[in-house]
Amino acid sequence: MSINHIGYWSGVAAFTAAAAYGIVQILQVVGVLRFPADEILIYGTSLLHRRAIHSRDGGFSSSDCA
């Protein structure tokens, strides 16, 4: 697998996670989502986005815990 292939799919994953976060955020503000689904979905998509962005270093690094 080439670095270009990995980079492409990492970009697709990051975009998908960011788009999902945006959609969930809009649904939360408009009032379509109710507790606890709103919090679960907003935090879940946020973690997916973070994972997609930081996938190069294996996900969460030790500096994230500080």
17-50 tens-digit pLDDT:
889 999 999 999 999 988 998 888 888 888 887 7
Would you say residue 62 has pLDDT above 50?
no
In the numeric block, the tokens 């973070």 are attached to 50
Global pTM reads 0.66
10 contact partners, CB below 8 Å, separation of at least 6? 52, 55, 56
